Amino acid sequence: MTLYFFERVTDDDFIGPVIVAAPDEATAWSLLAGRECSDVEALKTLGWQIAQDLAAIPPRPTIVYPSHYRRAILS
């Protein structure tokens, strides 16, 4: 099982994280679509994206940053 952290960022709004536990990315998108009463392609068009997926629990206490935050920190 993997945890998928979804978010939607626009010029006027921020929604997230919505955390979905699923065996794969397609199932995670499907569960998010059910939650949002929409279909997957519509969600992607609205700007929903996977900010992070966490396939394993970190071995020690840590802050888990979405992947785009980590890129910004390391840059």
Single pTM value for the model: 0.78
pLDDT tens digits along 23-33: 999 999 999 99
72 — pLDDT class (breaks 50, 70, 90) = very low
Using DSSP's 3-state secondary structure scheme, residue 41 falls into: helix
Exposed/middle/buried for residue 18 (C-beta within 10 Å: 0-12, 13-18, 19+) = middle
User: Looking at the 3D structure of the chain, how many domains does it have?
Assistant: 1
Query: Domain containing 49: what range?
Result: 2-74
pLDDT tens digits along 54-70: 888 888 988 777 765 54
